Amino acid sequence: MPKFAANLSMLFKELPYLDRFNAAAEAGFKAVEVLYPYQFAAKDTQRALLSNGLQLTLMNAPPPNYTGGEPGFAAVASSTERFQRDIRRVLRYSDVLQSSSIHIMAGIIKGPEAHKTFVRNLQWAADFAPYQQFTIEPLNPIDQPGYFLDDYGLAADILAEVGRHNIKLQYNSYHAHLIHGDALKVWEMFNKHIGHIQIASAPTRCEPSKGPIAFDALFSAIDSSGYTGWIGAEYTPSTKRTEDSLNWMSQLEMA
């Protein structure tokens, strides 16, 4: 039976940030994701996690550029020094919040030099923090045009080159469907590399109960694979209140 984590950057957004933790716990979640917790004191997020008995399963790196910069720059050669500096900051947050995984974002760039830079930076991060699991995630070109990591085959090649046990693939049913047209097939081809899962319908990125992705078959395949980690519910609710979008979870529990 899959175990789900609420992505608090997308769910319960009708509530103030710190109130979302209690709402997630009341909805039955035992774990949460927070993509960018950096604008809040780590201790505040830690208290919200502890007081609600929640585990943090994922956060993104590097911290966002709130002035409007691109999402991530791990593949940008000119930003290697900044990457290392920001990863140190991310790890300070993770040490407080005990995040199971940190998603390293590649950035908007293309070309052979970007490939080499991404591999080198991932190796540096993995060696600098061998106790921490990191992930990389292909993002679809509609939402993130020009993003370096835009294909699951490329991600598998990158992981082989990096060659570190604590760098794994992050699977997202929404991105997988938009990139390759078949989220289940992507899971079947690449699940041996996967360290974290996120789900949403496609093409609208709403709750996992609408659209062409066969989630019953996907959840069955995930169970059969032996995956025991968390599955992040990273979607935009089609309802005004997040709790009204959670029928898919209760229906799965009754199945």
Provide the annotated active-site residues. 137, 234
Instruction: Tell me which residue of 57, 73, 169 sits closest to 114, measured CA to CA.
Output: 73
* Residue 165 burial class via C-beta count within 10 angstroms: exposed 0-12, middle 13-18, buried 19 and up: exposed
CA dihedral of residues 172, 50, 92, 33 (deg, nearest 10): 10
Whole-number Å distance between alpha carbons of 55 and 184: 27
Instruction: Tell me which residue of 236, 148, 225 sits closest to 184, measured CA to CA.
Output: 225
Q: How far is CA 151 from CA 156, 180, 198, in A?
A: 9, 8, 16
Ramachandran class of 16: left when φ > 0, alpha when ψ lies in -120 to 50, beta otherwise: beta
- Tell me: cis bond preceding 62? Omega within 30 of 0 counts: yes
The SS3 of residue 85 is helix
Whole-number Å distance between alpha carbons of 189 and 199: 17
